């Protein structure tokens, strides 16, 4: 094994594995190029390419004149937005597949009068009422996303009797025969506002994923409009068509 000459990819794999095993800790200075060159008997170019790749993958970050630092760990990254015709978009079901313990905390729920914004998103009248559910989603007890979900109250009149910290919203919607089956999504990266940054624990870089999800039931009624803000370092957004 030791006789084999390492290429840049091998080196990047060695380093990323160490970061994932917490041998190199977030914020720690990575060994210098020189260290890697003498330790593995490789060229400067190989070392540089490996570091560039680690930067692209978000494992490390270079600071001019100081060196290369280990970034926040990436191994808890989970996929989000894996939606296709057969799956539904429930956050819990999506993320559960990746073996992460998911929990939610309710921030607020309640009925409000619709306005022009919500009426256009939910395609309902201005005189109608909507029901909002604001939740923080945790993966392994770390905040991953904050979700603002709005439903037309007319389809879910007893919604106030349920606590969606423990009951799946989609299970409930299915009992009302208004389970969203088709989705339209819009994704952007934007800046977290102060409140969202606080909930998600963002301090330095405030870039967040924002996904707007519109859910249609079997009769093509819009039954859900969700604005989800998630941490790009924790959630990887995927679009999959099978």
Partner 1 sequence: MRKNLLTKSSLIAKELQYDIEQGSLLHMEKLPSERELSDIFKVQRGTIREALDLLVQERLIFSKPKVGYFVNEKRVRKFTNPLALNDPSKRDNLVRERISFEKIYADSWLSNQMLVPKSSEVYRIVIICYDDKVVVGKERYYLLSDTTGTITEKDMNTFSVAELATKGIIKTASSNIKSNQKITLAYTNSSDSSLFGIEENTPLLRHRGLEYNEKGQLVLFYDNFLLPHYFEFYRMEQTYHDK
Binding residues for partner 1 (CB under 8 A)? 7-10, 12, 52-53, 55-56, 58, 61-64, 79, 83, 85, 108-113, 115-118, 120, 123, 132, 134, 182-194, 205, 207, 209-210, 216, 220, 232-233, 236-242
Nearer to partner 1, 25 or 117 (CB): 117
User: What residues have CB less than 8 Å from 242, skipping those under 6 apart?
Assistant: 84, 85, 86
44-60 burial, b at 16+ Cβ within 10 Å, e below that, comes to: eebbebbbebbeeeebb
Smallest separation, CB 78 to partner 1 (Å): 12
Between CA 58 and CA 61 the distance in angstroms is 7
Nearest to 185 by CA among 221, 231, 224: 224
Minimum separation from the CB atom of position 190 to partner 1 (A): 5
CB of 198 to partner 1, least distance (A): 12
Q: Which residues pair with 103 in a beta bridge?
A: 138
Q: Let me know if 176 is exposed, middle or buried by CB neighbors in 10 A (0-12, 13-18, 19+).
A: middle
35 φ/ψ angles, rounded to the nearest 5 degrees:
-60, -45
Of 175 and 191, which CB lies nearer to partner 1 in the complex structure?
Answer: 191
Cβ closer to partner 1: 45 or 207? 207
Measured from the CB of residue 192, what is the shortest distance to partner 1 in angstroms? 7
Helix or strand (DSSP H, E) at 50: helix 44-56
Q: Tell me how far, at minimum, the Cβ of 37 lies from partner 1, in Å.
A: 19
Give the Cα separation of 109 and 88 in Å (integer). 22
Work out how close the CB of 181 gets to partner 1 at its nearest, in angstroms, rounded to a whole number. 9
């Amino acid at each position: 094994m030791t006789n084999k000459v390492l290429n840049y990819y091998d080196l990047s794999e060695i380093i990323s594995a160490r970061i994932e095993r917490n041998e190199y800790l977030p914020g720690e200075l990575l060994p210098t190029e020189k260290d890697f060159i003498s330790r593995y008997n490789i060229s400067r170019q190989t070392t540089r390419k490996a570091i560039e790749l680690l930067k692209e993958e978000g494992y490390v970050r270079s600071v001019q004149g100081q060196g290369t630092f280990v970034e926040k760990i990436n191994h808890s990254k989970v996929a989000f937005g894996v939606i296709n015709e057969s799956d539904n978009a429930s956050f819990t079901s999506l993320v559960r597949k990746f073996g992460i313990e998911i929990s939610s905390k309710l921030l607020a729920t309640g009925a409000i009068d619709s306005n022009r914004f919500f009426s256009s998103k939910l395609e309902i009248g201005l005189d109608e009422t909507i029901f909002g559910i604001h939740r923080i989603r945790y993966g392994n007890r770390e905040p991953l996303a904050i979700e603002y979900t709005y439903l037309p109250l007319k389809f879910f009149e007893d919604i106030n009797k349920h606590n969606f910290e423990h009951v799946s919203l989609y299970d409930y919607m299915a009992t009302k025969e208004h389970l969203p089956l088709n989705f339209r999504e819009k994704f952007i990266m934007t800046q977290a506002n102060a409140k969202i940054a606080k909930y998600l624990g963002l301090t330095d870089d405030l870039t967040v994923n924002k996904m707007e999800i519109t859910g249609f039931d079997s009769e093509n009624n819009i039954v859900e409009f969700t604005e989800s803000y998630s941490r790009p370092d924790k959630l990887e957004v995927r679009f999959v068509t099978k």
